[in-house]
């Protein structure tokens, strides 16, 4: 299947968290013009591994580390979270690199592994065998099943638009950040480097996560006016509501 087609991933192992970077101004610099940011000036990091090709609809086995920013729009009071925008990715295969690049995410090749050591989950991302991102969290038993629709924002020639990414995951019933380290990184990862003693606004570990990426048209996501493609709704980055993390 083409990397531009819709993609489904099932059974991935995934670690994700939100944190305030050492340089909060970097979040502002990475946001599209006219879009309001989350009040915490928060960055988002997701590391996941897909072990076999049969866990995807066509992109194949791969790993990915994605970094992004939270926008204004959701609140924790009504069990919603903000829209997000990915601003960088480290992925393990050229096919996965094409998939993310087609969706407007700057990418570079690297590899992510996720291992369990007692009650700790260690997610390690390396480029050319040099570690660049390392996350360690203490987790509980995977006993919570959650579902939702995440909104991801992207820039288009016609302005800012949003896409819905549905997901279902079995999540650990406890999560606590132990450490978060960025070393020898470049681009958005360097700009969104965490503080020396980072604090997570939220976090989760899912040993069994399923999610979907939307289709693209001619190497880009469909936008209003594309023939025979579902139109992407114009973005209202402070009015949308959705479930999930």
Among 43-52, 81-90, 147-156, 182-191, name the most confident range. Answer: 43-52
Q: Provide the phi-psi class of 129: left if phi over 0, else alpha when psi is between -120 and 50, else beta.
A: left
- pLDDT score, position 138: 97
Residue 93 predicted with pLDDT over 70:
yes
Burial label for 186, CB within 10 Å (0-12, 13-18, 19+), is: exposed
Residue 227 predicted with pLDDT over 50:
no
Which ranges in the chain belong to alpha helices (H)?
A: 25-30, 94-102, 187-191
100, two tokens: 């993310």
User: Of 25-29, 60-64, 195-199, 230-234, which gets the smallest average pLDDT?
Assistant: 230-234
Query: What gap in Å lies between CA 184 and CA 81, rounded to an integer?
Result: 31
pLDDT tens digit sequence for 99-109: 888 888 899 99
- pLDDT score, position 89: 95
pLDDT tens digit sequence for 113-134: 999 999 999 999 999 999 999 9
Average pLDDT over residues 52-59: 94
Residue 240 predicted with pLDDT over 50:
no
Query: What gap in Å lies between CA 183 and CA 20, rounded to an integer?
Result: 17
The pairing of beta strand 107-109 with beta strand 84-91: parallel
User: Of 16-20, 137-141, 147-151, 158-162, which gets the smallest average pLDDT?
Assistant: 158-162
Residue 235 predicted with pLDDT over 60:
no
User: Of 62-71, 112-121, 153-162, 208-217, which gets the smallest average pLDDT?
Assistant: 153-162
Residue 232 predicted with pLDDT over 90:
no
Q: Which of 37, 48, 46 is nearest to 18 (CA)?
A: 46
Evaluate whether 15 touches 122 at the Cβ level (below 8 Å). no
- Given pLDDT bands bounded at 50, 70 and 90, which one contains residue 80? low
Query: What gap in Å lies between CA 225 and CA 124, rounded to an integer?
Result: 41
* Residue of 153 and 92 predicted with greater confidence: 92
Average pLDDT over residues 32-43: 82
Residue 36 predicted with pLDDT over 50:
yes
Phi, psi of 14 (to 5 degrees): -140, 135
pLDDT tens digit sequence for 145-191: 999 888 888 777 777 777 888 999 999 999 999 999 998 778 899 99
CA dihedral sign, ordered 198, 202, 205, 208: negative
- pLDDT score, position 4: 61
């Amino acid at each position: 299947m083409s990397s531009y087609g819709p993609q489904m991933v099932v059974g991935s192992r995934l670690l994700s968290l939100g944190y305030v970077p050492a340089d909060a101004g970097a979040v502002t610099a990475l946001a599209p013009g006219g879009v309001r940011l989350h009040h915490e000036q928060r960055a988002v990091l997701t590391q996941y591994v897909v072990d076999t090709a049969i866990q995807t609809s066509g992109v194949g086995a791969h790993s990915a580390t994605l970094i992004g920013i939270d926008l204004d729009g959701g609140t924790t009071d009504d069990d919603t979270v903000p829209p997000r925008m990915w601003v960088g990715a480290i992925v393990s295969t050229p096919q996965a690199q094409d998939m993310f690049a087609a969706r407007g995410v700057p990418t570079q090749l690297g590899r992510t592994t996720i291992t369990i050591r007692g009650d700790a989950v260690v997610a390690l991302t390396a480029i050319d065998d040099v570690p660049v991102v390392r996350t360690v969290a203490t987790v509980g038993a995977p006993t919570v099943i959650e579902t939702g629709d995440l909104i991801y924002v992207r820039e288009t020639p016609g302005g800012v638009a949003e896409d819905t990414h549905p997901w279902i995951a079995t999540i650990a019933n406890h999560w606590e950040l132990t450490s978060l380290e960025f070393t020898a990184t470049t681009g958005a990862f360097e700009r969104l480097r965490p503080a020396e003693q980072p604090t997570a606004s939220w976090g989760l570990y899912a040993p069994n996560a399923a999610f979907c990426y939307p289709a693209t048209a001619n190497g880009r996501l469909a936008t209003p006016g594309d023939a025979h493609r579902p139109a992407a709704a114009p973005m209202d980055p402070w009015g949308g509501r959705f479930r999930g993390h």
